[in-house]
Amino acid sequence: MDNQRSKFGLVYLVGAGPGRKELLTLRALEVLSRADVVVYDYLVSESVLQLCHPSAVLIDVGKRPGKPTNQSDINDLLVELASKHRCIVRLKGGDPFVFGRGGEEADALKAAEIGFEVVPGVSSVNGVPLFGGISLTHRGIAQGYVVVTGHGRFGEPLKYDWDALNRCGLTLVVLMGVAHRAEISEELRRVGMDPLTPVAVISKGTTASQRVIRTTLSELGMLQVESPAIIVVGSVAALDFSWLDVRPLFGLKVVVTRAYGEDRLSHSLEELGAEVVRLPMISISNPSDQGESLQRALGQIGSFSWIVFTSSTSVKRTFDALGDLRRLGGVKIAAIGSGTKETVLAHRVGVDFVPTKYVGETFVDEFPAPSRANDAILLPRAKVARDVVPLGLRNKGWKVDVVEAYETSYMVYDKSDLVAKADLVLFASPSAVEGFYHCFGKMLGRLPIGVIGPITAKKVEELGATPTFISERYNFPGLVDATRLWWIDNCKSETV
């Protein structure tokens, strides 16, 4: 059997949790990052799929209305993929073995003598009520809980010992029960459960569209609610420990167009309750000369009075090429923007100059003139960038050596539907605006747009759209504050 398994890849049955990528286990993240193929369900969120390796093949086998997928076909697909690839991830919402049919897939793999590993996930049983502010157990109220599925096989009525579910006195959690909510209400009341028993229904739990409805058993059947949803029956449903929906950006679904790895903006928005869709518009790659010009300039670093950094990426690329920080000697450092400054400081190097406004024009106006002839500045930056800084510094008398530190290119996505469902798109650079327009065209003008400053706003206008708001402070904290004010003033009341 071991010899047979060596001919096949390993299949990981991975729990994706109830929605948010933060609820993935470290093991799930590790196998996703190196998977050759990812076979995923309908309810696996886009934020989780974005954690897959860029070269991974993604296969959607989600069961949804109008697109049924036979479980035996999925089993056969996993066996087939294991004969062609080394690392296959079967990504399932919640936990693979909690109403996820993971056991059937494990059975099929075992029968085919294919190795597999099960990676637990946060089940919606626990995760969704928690995000909805409901504790399934509570001292003096509920000593435990029972979990059942509300989905009858082939649409048949639910077949439970309803009297036992009533008499146990435990919290009842029903998954996939929206279609049978009237039947659940009727059966529990039939066996004697109090019609006024508290009930909570949490739909689209853990997402920006999460909605918590508190009602009673007698009213459950008439409730208007969207799937997916979880039904909690019992006294704990009357308790309210809400924490997500009280955050200022709860309900906001925002597209962030920053490059991968530059997540300060996304993290700040998520901490305030927003659901972030990361769609980097720009891909960063090695310079066209593979860094030879940068290495050559750094080899003569002592001939420069200043290094001017215009982006965090230019900082990282330069310090990676520099190696020994002692080579900087007496060279001063300037940074345009707080994020760029923070990246320099993270390398344990001080910053000597930052403009009062984080745009090239202000930088040129405020930067000192050279103290002697032929004073030189090293400016490592992207291959294609605005010429405001080098031209302005030369006009002030500086000798400027512009060096290509990295190259950028536009990303291409087939995610128009995903973008259309967003409430807002944020841009932190003109290049991100151009990339978005290159990818999505006129969708640029169909959504509210938030921009980090006037230069980015100008690019939006050049492409035929109008920014909804412009950050007063041209940095990430300023953009977050502007987003918060816009959402609270204009939109949040409509989502509550």
Catalytic residues: 41, 63, 176
Q: How far is CA 230 from the centre of its chain?
A: 23
> Could you identify the residue written with the tokens 């096989």?
153
- Answer whether 181's CB lies under 8 Å from 209's CB: no
Nearest to 492 by CA among 228, 208, 215, 289: 208
Q: What dihedral do alpha carbons 168, 238, 158, 42 form, nearest 10°? A: -130
312 contacts 339 by C-beta, under 8 angstroms:
yes
Residues β-bridged to residue 376 = 399
Q: Which residues neighbour 131 within 8 Å (Cβ) at sequence distance 6 or greater? A: 18, 202, 205, 206, 210, 244
Sign of CA dihedral 357, 360, 362, 367: positive
Strands 253-256 and 399-410, how do they pair? unpaired
Torsion of CA 250, 254, 258, 264, to 10 degrees: 0
Task: Please tell me the distance from the alpha carbon of residue 105 to that of residue 10, in angstroms, as a whole number.
Answer: 13
Beta strands in 240-331 (DSSP E): 253-256, 275-278, 282-285, 306-309
* CB neighbour burial string for 397-406, b if at least 16 within 10 angstroms, e if fewer: ebebbbbbbb
Do β-strands 449-451 and 424-427 pair in parallel, antiparallel, or remain unpaired? parallel
* β-sheet with 171-175: strand ranges across: 145-149, 171-175, 229-233, 198-203, 211-216
Q: Considering only CA atoms, which of 129, 292, 97, 127 is closest in space to residue 198?
A: 129
N-terminal to C-terminal alpha carbon distance within the chain:
57
Residue that is written with structure tokens 């300023």 in the block: 478
Helices (H), 191-262: 217-220
Written as one letter, the residue type at 308 is: V
Q: Give CA–CA dist 310/237, Å, rounded.
A: 53
- Torsion of Cα atoms, 323 then 325 then 328 then 334, to 10°: 100
